[in-house]
Amino acid sequence: VSCLTQRIGEQFPFPYQPYNIQEEFMQALYSALDKGKVGIFESPTGTGKSLSLICGALSWLTDYEERKRQEAAALLQEGEAALSTNAAQSSAVSSSAELDWITDFVQKKAERDLVSKLKEEELKRKKREERLEMIRNNVQLKYAVKRKSFNTKDEAFKLLQLSKEEQVEATGDQEDEELIIAEYESDDESKIKSRFFGAEKDEDDELVEEHVTKIYYCSRTHSQLAQFVHEVQKSPFSKDISVVTLGSRQNLCINEEVRRLGSIQRINDRCMEMQKNKHEKHHHEEGVKRKRGPAKSVCPYNKASALQQMRDVVLGAVHDIEQLLKLGRETHSCPYYSTRLAIPPAQLVVLPYQMVLHEATRRAAGVQLKGQVLIIDEAHNLSDTLSCIHSAELSGAQLCRAHSQLSQYADRYKSRLKAKNLMYIKQILFVIEGLVRVLGGEHKSGFFVLLGTEMLTINNFLFKAQIDNINLFKVLQRYFEKSMISRKVSYCFSFCLFLGGGGFSVLRNLFCILVLCAVPSADQQESVETEKVLSASPMMQVEGFFMALTNSNTDGRVVVHKQGSLSESSVKFLLLNPAVHFAQVLKECRAVIIAGGTMQPVSDFKQELLFSAGVGEERITEFSCGHVIPPENILPLVLCSGPSGQELEFTFQNRDTPRMMDETGRILSNICNVVPGGVVCFFPSYDYSKRIISHWEASGTLTRLANKKKIFQEPKKANQVEQVLNEFSRCIQRCSADCSGLTGALLFSVVGGKMSEGINFSDDLGRCVVMVGMPYPNIKSPELQEKMSYLDKHLPHSQGRSPGQALIENLCMKAVNQSIGRAIRHRGDYSSVVLCDRRYSRPATLSKLPTWIKDRTTTHTTFGPAFAALRKVRNITGSAELLGKLYF
């Protein structure tokens, strides 16, 4: 009996009476999970999508666990009955009867083994449930505090595995001996574990190691994950479900000494350095002679007993990242490692995209997808996200720094490095020199090269760089991964840089020269960007690029950008087939749910990401629902011409003409005259936004707009977005409270910018959204042209369109859908959407709008009727509404 048949007709647990579309959503989700489907779920923002996901998925998980218990109990009962029957039959068989005793023995042994296994699993399940219940009742906390550190050596090693930091044997007493890389044919992890900590495991460890059936929920940003966790806390499951939220060291570290480093790469390196120091300390305490030199610092928050205590607290209640940081400071334990220890017994794991979609990161974090459920939220740009995660780029400056660092490392330790290690280092240096030659230099940062961009297949790039004779798979698997050379060189270089003494002066001077060469020019200097570039470990970047070059020749391209000097030039791997990396996720997971507020158009999404990954049509299920708002609360308009009759078609050729810019200004002036509160106007790019605003400033249009609404502009720097939005919100609130002459505020934003996704313009913050033109991507981009060519070659044509043409249209309309969806955020909200371009009236374009908007869209060939419809919007509700809040 499936869970689905048991759930039909029953209501889902919900914190309030759900909307009909929410009940339909949960029923469809439950069915998809129960049948092991790949589901594409679309539910507009403001319809309670997060709660529907939570209650539908956790209802299935609860029923699934109960069904497993019932099936196991039935099997156990049958097995015991069969053993009893066989025993009675064996005693009744006479001595003269001919019995196949071998078959009988094998059958009885199999039955005994099955019964023993079922009993063992039932015992583990009961112990796990009792332990979680004790944690929730705060009984386990007292027990955790009293644990002895010598009983937790195995837990300490788990942390060593999770940080991917291998312990190497000391072979000398020099102060920097730990920087020597071990033999690349290193022992496997079980031997290292036995050597340092022994192989004993207690019952609690066995419980921790077992991965229970769980749901992985991932989204793009930490703020979106925090919102989801808050919804879990409000759900009926908050008291009965074990939830863990994962994040990066940058987000979860509470060691102020490490946090001050700022760069995520520096934080990672420093954390792992402290991990190594900690395990060396344990090694010395066991009687091994300590090496000379000053005592190395260890992290005070990384103690096994404290980590176990925090892990138990994490499993006992639902915490977001801010609460985890507070809890870590209170318990004096590391949230980063505590949450990773909590993954196996957790039933719901909340984590960012990178930890699920990138195999190496997934493996390092301890995330196991086999037989589990994966929910990918905000998945409208999933294909682009996969391509971005698996692409890699190296600048000429980074290549020079990597070559210098690795050369210095090899020269310093060549007398103590084994022959095979030196061989691999020389191969890496040879490849780096080949990459520099492709950029037109000879590993000298000041070398000037010719301008140009070249697109190459992976094989052609390897031939051009003359590195096709190097086995990159072997270098990566047998050396980079096992020796951890990237981290060791990075640590060695930072260690040497800040150390006094003449032995390091050449190294320090060379580094300073390379830094100066990496900064292009005075007018391009940005202290933050420079710091970001220099803080990244060049060897880690080189390793990532090596990994990218191991993709199939047909799945990617290498783009060579020559920008005048070597330091400014770059080489980039562009992934063209994201399905190749998504296929493993789809294969391992029991079910995958791809959800979003605007998933249209779905057909091309399925073709590029699912069918190409080997998923059959029969495994895919789709669900899309309308909005909860009444039909009259949304007014989508397509404007084909402006007030003066100027036809609106913002093509690249005519959008910069003065009359087109003037007509756009007249449209906005009319809208601001009749629409109260906030108006958000989206332009197709930052450059066009700058040009049209400059034109309006010169013509006086901007002054006319400012007489009606205070004007705000989207900042280019991310750290200024919140300030602008807060001022925008306060201005609208003041204007609604007094009679100063202003009717609200006007915000100029950019499609695909910082305000087109993840920010809510609810209620008076977004009474009208204006879309100027159609935001098509730059068709002249070499990367986009290569992507179009790849799709045309590998995907079938449909409805007379090539896949490349469909890609252009889909990228445009996905961006439009994200932008116009910022306004309607709840059942009582209302807004108008004005699409200023006659091309929106084409049936093929209209079909790519979300259904709930498309069904209510009207096309106006003249401005008069559209303006009359806008004037009615302000009188829709007839009552004052509260100002909305901003959510990031």
The per-residue pLDDT for range 176-208, each reduced to its tens digit, is: 444 454 444 333 333 333 333 333 444 444 434
In a domain, 154, yes or no: no
pLDDT at residue 677 tops 90: no
Same domain, 719 and 849: yes
Domains of the chain: total: 2
In a domain, 817, yes or no: yes
Say what angle helices 505-518 and 527-535 make with each other, to 10 degrees.
130
Asked if residues 401 and 489 have their Cβ atoms less than 8 Å apart, the reply is no
Query: What global pTM score does this model have?
Result: 0.81
C-alpha closest to that of 592 among 219, 215, 221: 215
In a domain, 660, yes or no: yes
Same domain, 721 and 838: yes
DSSP conformation letters of 521-552: -GGG--HHHHHHHHHS-HHHHHHHHHHHTTS-
Same domain, 559 and 690: no
Asked if residues 599 and 850 have their Cβ atoms less than 8 Å apart, the reply is no
Task: Output 638 or 758, whichever has higher pLDDT.
Answer: 638
Q: Tokens 């950019």, residue?
A: 750
pLDDT at 151: 45
In single-letter form, the type of residue at position 81 comes to A
Asked if residues 65 and 844 have their Cβ atoms less than 8 Å apart, the reply is no
Compute the average pLDDT of residues 270-283. Answer: 68
Same domain, 560 and 700: no
pLDDT at residue 503 tops 50: no
Confidence of residue 246 (pLDDT cuts 50, 70, 90): very high
pLDDT at residue 572 tops 90: yes
Compute the average pLDDT of residues 39-49. Answer: 87
Least confident stretch, 645-654, 696-705, 873-882: 873-882
CATH of the domain at 642: 3.40.50.300
Same domain, 657 and 541: no
Least confident stretch, 43-52, 89-98, 212-221, 294-303: 89-98
Distance CA 132, CA 127 (A): 9
In a domain, 683, yes or no: yes
Same domain, 665 and 805: yes
pLDDT at 125: 67
CATH of the domain at 475: 1.10.275
The CA-based diameter of the chain, rounded to the nearest angstrom, is: 114
Distance CA 415, CA 350 (A): 48
Distance CA 249, CA 247 (A): 7
Same domain, 562 and 648: no
Asked if residues 346 and 242 have their Cβ atoms less than 8 Å apart, the reply is yes
Q: How far is CA 397 from CA 23, 392, 431, 453, 506, in A?
A: 56, 15, 15, 18, 18
pLDDT at residue 808 tops 60: yes
Distance CA 492, CA 511 (A): 13
Same domain, 565 and 675: no
In a domain, 95, yes or no: no
Same domain, 558 and 682: no
C-alpha closest to that of 355 among 270, 252, 271: 252
In a domain, 766, yes or no: yes
Residue 45's Cα: distance from chain center in Å? 20
| Coil, helix or strand at residue 130 | helix
pLDDT at 281: 55
Residues 532-544: pLDDT tens digits? Answer: 444 457 888 888 8
Task: Output 466 or 91, whichever has higher pLDDT.
Answer: 466
In a domain, 361, yes or no: no
Residue 5's Cα: distance from chain center in Å? 35
Confidence of residue 106 (pLDDT cuts 50, 70, 90): low
Confidence of residue 595 (pLDDT cuts 50, 70, 90): very high
Determine the structural domain holding residue 461 and report its residue range: 391-493+536-577
Same domain, 664 and 789: yes
pLDDT at 180: 52
Same domain, 638 and 732: yes
Structure tokens at 737: 């409270």
pLDDT at residue 161 tops 60: no
Compute the average pLDDT of residues 52-61. Answer: 93
Domain final position from 549, 577, 605:
577
Same domain, 571 and 644: no
In a domain, 257, yes or no: no
